[in-house]
Amino acid sequence: MSEQEAQVSLGFITVVDHDELGCIGGYLILNLGGRPLEFHCTAPVRANRAQQILYGVSLKPFLYGELVGRSLIEKGLETPIVILANQPELNSLQALIDVPLIQLDDVENSQSTVIHELQIFMETIPIDEPFGRITDAIEEARRGARAA
């Protein structure tokens, strides 16, 4: 990998729903070789009953994108060339950020200008693998918080 490619980063964002805690978001930024540059996760977020009633079907996009997703992106120091998401509820985040947001299922069909970098990344690591890392790191943080 060239020095220029090593400086390019990709973001991966997901939200995990826990029945007892609420939703917890995770944001992982990797270089093209798959090395982590940053990781951020949120405290659990839970909608109250009034929000559930008032937001109706728009509650998850609001929670995932506007509350959790925006908070995670704002914490990031590195600006990736693209952010990949694995939940359609995170699409509401696109209107709030300046970086392209691509759904994992749409990577193969993407006409994005970053497709070359995504192909380089996929030669090293399966494109869905970072989401497993995020989920595992959130679970580890949750266990650590419970033990404390």
**What string of DSSP letters covers 55-114?**
HGGGHHHIIIIIIIIHHHHHH-SS--SEEEES-GGGGGGGGG-SS-EEEGGGTTT---TT
What is the residue whose two structure tokens read 């997901």?
A: 14
The CATH number of whichever domain residue 111 belongs to comes to 3.30.420
Average pLDDT in the 94-113 region?
87
Total domains, the chain: 1
* 76 domain-assigned: yes
Q: Is residue 148 part of a domain?
A: no
Asked which of 1-5, 35-39, 63-67, 86-90 is least confident by mean pLDDT, the reply is: 1-5
Q: Is the pLDDT of residue 69 over 90?
A: yes
Is 85 part of any domain?
yes
Q: Summarize the confidence of residues 131-147 as an average pLDDT.
A: 86
Q: What is the pLDDT of residue 4?
A: 52
What is the pLDDT averaged over residues 139-147?
A: 77
Of the two residues 6 and 131, the one the predictor is more confident about is: 131
Range of the domain at 90: 3-142
Is 45 inside a domain boundary?
Answer: yes
pTM of the model: 0.90
Cβ 67 vs Cβ 59: under 8 Å: no
